Structure 1
Amino acid sequence: MTSPSSILLNNLRQLMKSKQYFNDIIHAYIIPTTDPHRNEYVADRFKRREFISQFTGSNGTAVITDKEALLWTDGRYFLQAENELDSTCWKLMRDGTKDVLSITKWLSRNLEKNSFIGCDPQLISINEWQEWEKTFEQSDKQLVPIHKNLIDILWDKQRPELPNNPIWKHELEFAGASISEKLSKVRSKMSEYQVNHLIVHRTDDVAWLFNLRGADIPCNPVFLSFSIVSFDSIKLFVDLNKLSDTLKKDLENENISIYSYDSFYEQLKKHVHSQQSSDKFCTSSSCNHAVETIIPKKQLVLQDDIVYELKAVKNDCEIQGMKQAHYIVFFNGAYLIKQVHTTIGLALEDTLREFLRRQILTSRVVHYILGVFDYIINQKLNSQSVKERKGTNLIFKGHLRSYRGCDQVWTLLSDSLTLTSNTDPSWKTNLTD
């Protein structure tokens, strides 16, 4: 019986041979994980590699040839990939391990001369495209842009829509700088680099520049968007339905023209053609290759990402916000006890009062931490043996060796983390279980 994965692969290979989307047979087709903004974590609409392979990890690249289907992923996902890939038609390439070739080396060795290797140019950075193109040329193979994504054709009506989560304003009290102040700094850098137009392609850069936040990608406060910043105009490309009337008016007051997200490439073409041939367009080498194909080579300037560098230098307000966010996450993740007057609970109150006095934390954050603290103790000590000792002083003992935060998960390493009673030495509960 033919498996669903095998059917999908056969249909993809028929498209590769059809010559409908390129003037010759596509001998290999590369399917990255990313989206047009080069994000590692992507919205459902851009999970093309997951659709074709059924592998759900956040890192990986699929390569399809006439005879083989291969998936490259790193060591975080070896076991997951083994479980999710159909081993009857997929081969796992354990990237970074001995004797496993890189994608470019494997294709260079296994495809015949004069083969065409296709990829959606929106999903490969300018830098990657140049490196891959050079590598393939050395083995008499050619990397070609396939502007109509073949996976989208297979996905058809089952393909998820773009996210429709609303965009909200990142208030000045948190941003620490207005849109006009940020644009002034951006244009100052543009003058320094002697460029006339800047293409902002990172979703986090757009969010920072326009003091906006969104929820198009899980666990990331960004929204799908591009921007073109010139000295006499600013264009923002975003799903118009995500903006409230108030936000639209605020952006218009900043002389920002708003366009639909899907119109970016067409509007970029018009923008390039409407400018003088001597004008310079700037973007970074991490921008997708499709942008590079629109701008004449003599007009394109590849420069370190201007907005990205400005965003990296935090103002006082942003630094304060980062500190408060870390305090909230830390106290939320640590199993601290306050309600039953433990030693650590009293120490927490003293510490928070000191932070409040020194203006490290605001009163709102302090109240939030204490509220989370109470909630955790009610959950953690929800056992009959503890309930019977509500009037008893409990002592929290332990040694915090280290802690770290990654992907919104806090890991605490401690020794002998226990609760004991000062009135009943025989009673003890282990909070690390």
Structure 2
Amino acid sequence: MFQSFETAGQRDLGPERLAALRAAMEKAGIDAFLVPRADAHQGEYVAPRDARLQWLTGFTGSAGFCVVTQKEAGLFVDGRYTVQARDQVADCFSVVRFPQAKAGDWLAERLSQGARVGFDPWLHTRAAVEALNDALGSGIAVMPVEPNPLDTIWPDQPAPPQGLVRLFPDDIAGKTAPEKIAEICETLKADGHAFAALSLPDSIAWLLNIRGSDIPRNPVPHAFALVEAGTGDVRLFIDEAKLRDVEVSYPVFPPESVVQALSQLSGPVRIDRDTAPYIFSHALEEAQVKFVYAPDPCLLPKACKTEAEIAHTSEAHLRDAAAMCRFLHWLSDAEARVLQGETITEIDVVEGLEGFRRATDRLLDISFETIAGSGPHGAIVHYRVTHDTNRALADGELLLVDSGGQYDDGTTDITRTMAIGTPTDEQIDTYTRVLKGMIALSRARWPKGLAGRDLDPLARAPLWRHGQDFDHGTGHGVGVALSVHEGPQRISRQSDIPLEVGMILSNEPGYYREGAFGVRIENLVAIEPAHPLPDQDDREMLAFKTLTWVPLDRRLIDVAALSPGERAWIDTYHAGIATRMTGRLPADVVHWLGDVTAPL
């Protein structure tokens, strides 16, 4: 099993560890300290060595940070994690809703003039530090601190990861590494930049057509890179032991030497203030090297997939869909046993689903920890089952399963919500509203130039009409055999990045009633040019191409609440599943699939 069910956080040790951190802060001469869930590469997932927030607080979510003073400690989490955080952390930590509350404002209310706020310069971006400075004003100092005080009190802190690097095939990438480097260099030269400093592992993996294994669920290596615009030279900063199975044509240096290398450049050096560690720009300032803030030049090219990437990831999604169909067939049998009194648990569900993905013989990893939330656990947006929380499936409840696979040719992410037994009217009404939002986004056509925030209301409108909403984005970017959460593209209220052909996004509206149930339905979609219409003017229009082909639970659909267009979309979608799964499933699953994909 890739997934384990151990309880990762240690709630009971929170008070003891918090007291030790405060002693270390006093020794370092600081009045407050920031503990992010981050590493030097600002990835969503962190290696065990960098799980500082989890070690201190017990919180295991994928986003959040803690602000510690000598008297208080605030754990800042967004709406996805408030329920989870309250369950996982000791009373010595106050759970604070972010972004409604800001760290700077919280600290300003608790610190007096002359106070000193410390942060690890490897774990925070320049943008985050500047925002904190602006909120606190000149009377409170915000200062980098090395070594990290928390590291000094973590006696058994794991070693840095040593995952091996492998080459990524050019035929899947659609471009060679030299071709990508040449394109990035042209961008740098056009912008007047001599160098680009790269710190995002997925950007480096994409640029050099390599993959790694330093971080669970994400096939990327921990590394930094410098790209020189004029020559096309690349310097790779990585532990050389990770390269023992591959040969790279770039000079390799220890990762810690990147700071010295930065200080010896002749600018202007391009730095992404939103993703690069603060220490990058600080080193350039200290050495008086000219630098400019601009987005990582790999972000948009990586987001706009090549035709080869779309073709290969489409095949990966069909392979994954077959595994999901086999799982849903298994679940229908498991449901029957539950209704006869047999105990089937959330862990059984996770193990069963991973088994079907493993049976493809192409699974490299899961793309994130599988979410299998039964009943009230479905309302915890990023719930992870453990032996301590494991719950049995029950008649009359919903089961929300959000999961994905990392294959050698693609990355998948899919959510389905299923009824166990006979669903209630409330469950059917809620599911149908969420489904209507997902369909509205799937059917969308829009003029080129619009951003994710422009499309986001389409998925929420059916819920808004009933005074409901959800507290997460509607969609995130997804890589190809890379990170399951990829920027810069998103479908959310905050996203102003124009949507472009080749981008892959999730389409996942939801609704969550704390203590009762959760509903989420998710497909992945790719952006393509929209087919022209007879009365269309000369503007360029875009549309979504569906990548995910897995049936919906018909029992949860209120057909009377659907428009003719929505009903036609579901019937067409289900017919497409039946066609695409031909030859990929055993006979008993094919028979079941015929029933669940029949026209409404």
Q: TM-score under structure 2 normalisation?
A: 0.53
RMSD in angstroms over aligned alpha carbons? Answer: 3.1
User: What does 1:133-148 align with in structure 2 at a 5 Å threshold?
Assistant: 133-137=133-137, 140-148=139-147
Question: How far did residue 312 of structure 1 move?
Answer: 2.1
Asked whether 1:90 is paired with 2:93, we answer yes
Secondary structure of 1:208's match?
helix
Asked whether 1:404 is paired with 2:511, we answer no
Which amino acid in structure 1 is aligned with residue 153 of structure 2? L
Question: How far did residue 267 of structure 1 move?
Answer: 3.2
User: What does 1:43-192 align with in structure 2 at a 5 Å threshold?
Assistant: 43-87=47-91, 89-96=92-99, 101-137=101-137, 140-156=139-155, 158-192=156-190
Secondary structure of 2:76's match?
strand
CA distance in structure 2 between the aligned counterparts of 1:306 and 1:416, rounded to whole angstroms: 47
CA distance in structure 1 between the aligned counterparts of 2:40 and 2:106, rounded to whole angstroms: 25
Q: Aligned match of 1:9 in 1, 4, 18?
A: 18
- Closer/same/farther in 2, CA of residues 330 and 298 from structure 1, 3 Å limit: same
Question: How far did residue 336 of structure 1 move?
Answer: 8.1
Greater Rg over alpha carbons, structure = 1
Asked whether 1:310 is paired with 2:314, we answer no
User: What does 1:6-45 align with in structure 2 at a 5 Å threshold?
Assistant: 6-19=15-28, 25-45=29-49
Contact 1:404 1:411 in 2 (8 A): no
Unaligned runs of 5+ in 2: 1-11, 330-355, 361-431, 440-520, 525-547, 557-594
What's 1:329 paired with?
A: 320
CA distance in structure 2 between the aligned counterparts of 1:411 and 1:133, rounded to whole angstroms: 48
Contact 2:124 2:277 in 1 (8 A): yes
Contact 1:404 1:412 in 2 (8 A): no
Contact 1:333 1:410 in 2 (8 A): no
CA distance in structure 2 between the aligned counterparts of 1:262 and 1:410, rounded to whole angstroms: 45
CA distance in structure 2 between the aligned counterparts of 1:79 and 1:404, rounded to whole angstroms: 22
Asked whether 1:415 is paired with 2:554, we answer yes
CA distance in structure 1 between the aligned counterparts of 2:328 and 2:151, rounded to whole angstroms: 52
CA distance in structure 1 between the aligned counterparts of 2:86 and 2:113, rounded to whole angstroms: 32
Which amino acid in structure 1 is aligned with residue 60 of structure 2? T
Secondary structure of 1:41's match?
coil
Question: How far did residue 299 of structure 1 move?
Answer: 0.3
CA distance in structure 2 between the aligned counterparts of 1:152 and 1:415, rounded to whole angstroms: 52
Secondary structure of 1:227's match?
strand
CA distance in structure 1 between the aligned counterparts of 2:79 and 2:550, rounded to whole angstroms: 21
Question: How far did residue 41 of structure 1 move?
Answer: 1.2
Secondary structure of 1:121's match?
coil
Question: How far did residue 411 of structure 1 move?
Answer: 7.8
Task: Figure out how many residues of one structure are paired with residues of the other and give that number.
Answer: 340
What's 2:192 paired with?
A: 194
Contact 2:103 2:132 in 1 (8 A): no
CA distance in structure 2 between the aligned counterparts of 1:238 and 1:46, rounded to whole angstroms: 17
Asked whether 1:243 is paired with 2:243, we answer yes
Secondary structure of 1:76's match?
coil
Secondary structure of 2:225's match?
strand
- Closer/same/farther in 2, CA of residues 334 and 197 from structure 1, 3 Å limit: same
Which amino acid in structure 2 is aligned with residue 63 of structure 1? V
Which amino acid in structure 1 is aligned with residue 317 of structure 2? H
Contact 1:206 1:227 in 2 (8 A): yes
Question: How far did residue 431 of structure 1 move?
Answer: 8.5
- Closer/same/farther in 2, CA of residues 90 and 416 from structure 1, 3 Å limit: closer
Which amino acid in structure 2 is aligned with residue 178 of structure 1? T
| 1:292-312 superposed Cα distances (whole Å, 9 cap, x missing partner) | 101136601111221112212
Question: How far did residue 243 of structure 1 move?
Answer: 1.0
- Closer/same/farther in 2, CA of residues 77 and 411 from structure 1, 3 Å limit: farther
Secondary structure of 1:204's match?
helix
Percent of pairs with identical residues: 26
Which amino acid in structure 1 is aligned with residue 238 of structure 2? V
Contact 1:205 1:307 in 2 (8 A): yes
Asked whether 1:267 is paired with 2:261, we answer yes
Which amino acid in structure 1 is aligned with residue 259 of structure 2? Y
- Closer/same/farther in 2, CA of residues 14 and 80 from structure 1, 3 Å limit: same
Unaligned runs of 5+ in 1: 20-24, 339-367, 373-399, 418-429
| 1:134-158 superposed Cα distances (whole Å, 9 cap, x missing partner) | 22116x21211113111111113x0
CA distance in structure 1 between the aligned counterparts of 2:299 and 2:161, rounded to whole angstroms: 24
CA distance in structure 2 between the aligned counterparts of 1:146 and 1:67, rounded to whole angstroms: 20
- Closer/same/farther in 2, CA of residues 314 and 431 from structure 1, 3 Å limit: closer
CA distance in structure 2 between the aligned counterparts of 1:149 and 1:95, rounded to whole angstroms: 24
Question: How far did residue 415 of structure 1 move?
Answer: 1.1
Contact 1:229 1:235 in 2 (8 A): yes
Question: How far did residue 410 of structure 1 move?
Answer: 9.3
- Closer/same/farther in 2, CA of residues 96 and 208 from structure 1, 3 Å limit: closer
Q: Aligned match of 1:283 in 268, 271, 282?
A: 271
Secondary structure of 1:285's match?
coil
Contact 1:26 1:117 in 2 (8 A): yes
More helix by share: 1
